[in-house]
Amino acid sequence: MNVLVIGGGIIGLSIARELRLSGITKIRVIENSTAGTQASWAAAGMLAPNAEAEKAGAFYNFCAASNAIYADFVRRLAEESGVDVDYRKCGTIEVALSDDEAASLSAKIEQQRSQGFKLEAMDSGGILSLEPNVSQSVVCGVHYPDDGYIDNRKLLEALTVYLRLNGIDIEDHLVESLIVEGDRITGAIASNRTYDADVTILATGAWSSLIKIGVRPLPFNVKPIKGQMSIFAHPSLNLRKVVIAQGAYLTPRDDGRILVGATVEDVGFDRRIDDDAISGLKTAARRTMPMLERIEPVETWCGFRPFAGDGLPIIGEINGLKDLFIATAHFRNGILLAPLTARIIADKIVRDIESPFIRAFRPQRFLQNSGASYR
């Protein structure tokens, strides 16, 4: 079987690896830039299925299940690639720094608790003992012990090394369209060249809707949602936990750096960094962690989260089109969901096992009639 993976972000690279581990030998990845330099590079690497969840259900279960296999994914990848990846299941805390924030955080805690989430509500003393870097004015907070972070840039490096060691080419081309022959997709056209494939996987994140099926658009729309971020670096910094506060989240790295994110902007592919947005993030970060007052960010950047209309990932086949698999629209959770997305796609392609998560997130939900065929 000859597989073409379109998209060299965390999702495409993880799928290529999982297919290789499942015995597929002919795999090619096409990416319209250097692999792993877009949203997957721009992310903070939060692994926060609990802290970021709004409600129980299929999406929460998918996030929690991917989080549960993360340690094994990282350990195996480090062995396979020889690249050490900074991964910590260090827990996330969300803090309230005013009475109003405490009231809305308490409502969130009650809601999550009633749905069985694993969390520990804390008073200010509890929060400060877990994370002494947080402002002394903290009113209360909540600890999610199963959450954590990964250094996503190191993870991308490990995946690209794995692919290289296993003879999987990553080619730099712009894919314009998928090739349709009858009811099958037989590859793609990129940079005026034809790439034949027995199976094609579309993992093109925020750029997915720019690719056509023949001459027709995809049956769903994915748009970019910009996130601007910054990073603080200073020898005195030592954050133990991922911290979420009003207006910013702070994600540590093992070398002491702290990533501060992120804006959520519906402005298309606008790569400009806006001083006001960065200043807002700095203010929120300094209010949360006062020692950042003396430190300026050393770098700012932005990335584009892939967003579908309902905010959920799109994974699986399109009725009426054989040999095409979609894995996109992971929005705020691409890093978290990569290991399990890769596994369920490989299970479907190689073993014909359909995960309930594919049933929950199929592209079919965007066709007017859920039984309809694309053709």
Q: Is 262 in the site for ligand GLY (CB under 6 A)?
A: yes
Using alpha carbons, select from 60, 30, 12, 45 the residue that is nearest to residue 357.
60
DSSP collapsed to 3 states, 49-101: CCCCCCCCCHHHHHHHHHHHCHHHHHHHHHHHHCCCCCEECCCEEEEECCHHH
Of 237 and 262, the one with the shorter C-beta distance to ligand GLY is 262
Q: Which is nearer to ligand GLY, 36 or 227 (CB)?
A: 227
Report how far residue 136's alpha carbon sits from residue 130's, in angstroms, rounded to the nearest whole number: 13
- Which of 154, 286, 287, 305 lies at the binding interface for ligand GLY (CB under 6 A)? 305
Taking the least distance from each CB to ligand GLY, the nearer of 187 and 227 is 227
Q: Give 147 or 323: the residue with its C-beta nearer to ligand GLY.
A: 147
- The residue among 20 and 330 lying less far from ligand GLY, judged by its C-beta, is 330
Exactly one of 8, 261, 339, 363 binds ligand GLY (CB under 6 A); that residue is 261
- For the bound state, the minimum distance from the C-beta of residue 148 to ligand GLY, rounded and expressed in Å, comes to 13
| Least distance CB 265 / ligand GLY (angstroms) | 11
Output 165 or 273, the one with its CB closest to ligand GLY: 273
Q: Could you tell me the smallest distance in angstroms from the CB atom of residue 314 to ligand GLY?
A: 17
Residue type, 219: P
Nearer Cβ to ligand GLY (47/74)? 47
Strands 148-150 and 46-47: antiparallel
Minimum CB–partner distance for residue 283 and ligand GLY (Å):
17
Give the nearest distance from C-beta 46 to ligand GLY in angstroms: 5
Should residue 303 be labelled a site residue for ligand GLY when binding is judged by CB under 6 A?
no
What's the min distance (Å) between Cβ of 67 and ligand GLY? 13
CB 249 within 8 A of CB 45: no
CA-based nearest residue to 140, from 176, 103, 115, 165: 103
Query: Maximum Cα–Cα distance for the chain, whole Å?
Result: 66
Contact call for residues 55 and 112 (beta carbons, < 8 A): no
- Based on the shown chain and the rule CB under 6 A, indicate whether residue 39 belongs to the binding site for ligand GLY: no
- DSSP H/E element including 189: strand 184-190
Q: How far is the CB of 118 from ligand GLY (least distance, A)?
A: 19
Count of residues engaged in binding ligand GLY, rule: CB under 6 A: 7
**Both structure tokens of 111:** 């809601």
Q: What are phi and psi of 323, to 5 degrees?
A: 70, 20
Tokens of 263: 């804006």
With respect to ligand GLY, which residue has the nearer C-beta, 168 or 336?
Answer: 336
Residue number, 155 or 185, with CB nearest to ligand GLY: 155
For residues 122 and 106, give the distance between their C-alpha atoms in angstroms, rounded to a whole number: 10
The one among 88, 286, 332, 343 contacting ligand GLY by CB under 6 A: 332
Here the contacts of 187-194 (C-beta below 8 Å, separation 24 or greater) are: 187/4, 188/4, 188/6, 188/30, 190/30
* Beta-strand relationship, 140-144 and 120-123: antiparallel
Report which DSSP code applies to 290: G
Q: For ligand GLY, which residue of 35, 46, 188, 302 counts as binding (CB under 6 A)? A: 46
Among 227, 306, 316, 339, contact with ligand GLY (rule: CB under 6 A) = 227
Q: Which residues bind ligand GLY (CB under 6 A)?
A: 44, 46, 227, 261-262, 305, 332
